[in-house]
Amino acid sequence: MNPSRLGFFLLGITLAFGFIVGADRIGKAIAYRRTSPELTVRGVATQPAKADVATMVYGVSWRGENYAAGRTQLEQRRDVLVAKLQSAGIPLADIQVRAQDFNRYLPAPVGTKPENMGRFARGTVPDFAIEQQIAVRTSKVDTIAKLALEPVEFVDDVIVSRSAPAYRIAQLDEAKRELLESATKDARRRADVLVAGSGSKVGSLLEASQGMFEVTSPDNPESDFDTTSINKVIRVVVTLRFEITKE
């Protein structure tokens, strides 16, 4: 055989043998990794909290034929409402008076069906509707809770309405960090308990993920993000995956 061809032939055998040995070692390493036991656990942490921001929206509305008189009446009731909120302890900076909304309704054509009357004037001449909202966003949570229990008013054809209050926690980041730390420690404790006495121990953390983050009511733990109650419960769930090693 030609010496050069023989050299190439021997080189090919050497490379093939090296590839087989290397592949075998990699395969064993992968197989070992795949068969290495793992444990997935969940950790939970809860913390009571209180809402620090409350919102509520008032509405004043009027409808009638005398537009000028109606607007005057509405604005008078609006100003009385704003003054009442201030006297209750709500800072003026927490009160937003929104722009007025106007509508003009023409008399209904002859033969109009009753269900369409909301689109037309209530009489035989045009009439007008004026609405305005007063939005409150404040840290005076307890004050809003008291105001929400007071009855609405009907004065001089002006209707004063009110939305249900909403209570929220504005500063959640710090509480969330603390709860994530507590939930992670809880998951590690659970992992240690599960492997105790097995001749193994909890090894490296392979994966971590955050699950549920909820702000619920103590009376309704099924709500994901409660806005109806002042007192709340914050709950965090984490999932950790650990490698299990021999002691």
Q: Is the pLDDT of residue 18 over 90?
A: no
Cα–Cα distance, 43 to 191 (Å, whole number)? 10
The predicted pLDDT at position 122 comes to 83
Pick the residue with more confidence: 147 or 116? 147
CA distance 96 to 77: 15
Amino acid at residue number 211: G
Nearest-angstrom CA–CA distance, 118 and 123: 12
Q: Distance between CA atoms of 75 and 90, rounded to whole angstroms?
A: 20
Instruction: Return the domain boundaries, the chain.
Output: 1-35, 37-50+171-246, 53-168
Of 7-21, 61-75, 79-93, give the lowest mean pLDDT range.
7-21
The distance from CA 71 to its chain's CA centroid, rounded to whole angstroms, is 39
Residue 23 has pLDDT above 70, yes or no: no
Mean pLDDT of the chain: 84
Whether pLDDT at 144 is above 70: yes
Using alpha carbons, select from 172, 179, 165 the residue that is nearest to residue 229: 165
More confident site: 173 or 85? 85
The model's confidence at residue 223, banded by pLDDT at 50, 70 and 90, is low
What are all long-range contacts of 153-159, with beta carbons under 8 Å and residues at least 24 apart?
Answer: 153/77, 155/77, 156/73, 156/76, 156/77, 157/62, 157/63, 157/64, 157/70, 157/73, 158/60, 158/61, 158/62, 158/73, 158/74, 158/76, 158/77, 159/59, 159/60, 159/61, 159/62
- Residues 37-50+171-246: name the CATH superfamily: Protein of unknown function (DUF541), domain 1 (3.30.110.170)
pTM of the model as a whole: 0.73
Q: What percent of the chain has pLDDT over 70?
A: 82
Neighbour count for residue 70 (Cβ, 10 Å): 21
Cβ atoms 137, 227 nearer than 8 A: no
pLDDT at 91: 97
What pLDDT is stored for residue 8 in this prediction?
A: 44
Tell me if the domain spanning 53-168 has CATH number 3.40.50.150.
no
